[in-house]
Amino acid sequence: MNPTDWQKSTYSDGGDGNDCVELASTPTTLHLRESDAPGTALVTAPAPLAQFLHAIRTGTPGIVASVTAHPGGAC
């Protein structure tokens, strides 16, 4: 299911113009995209995104490497 109701970040009204993050949701997924590239979206479930944001806030070592690593391949 694709979302139809995208919400812009409140920071998008600043001097950066259209450079902001937009969020939309369906009953089971969250969709994130950049305003200047709306054709590409990151799709995830609420729990993994909450865990990722928590790890960033708490400074969990290696969080970027663990999120970007692809099993069996290079980053």
**pTM metric for this prediction:** 0.62
Is the pLDDT at 67 greater than 60? The verdict is no
Q: Closest by alpha carbon to 23, among 39, 51, 42?
A: 42
Task: Please give the pLDDT value at position 53.
Answer: 84
- 49 close to 40: Cβ distance less than 8 angstroms: no
pLDDT digits (tens, 9 = 90+) for 13-62: 655 555 688 899 888 999 998 888 888 888 999 898 888 888 888 888 77
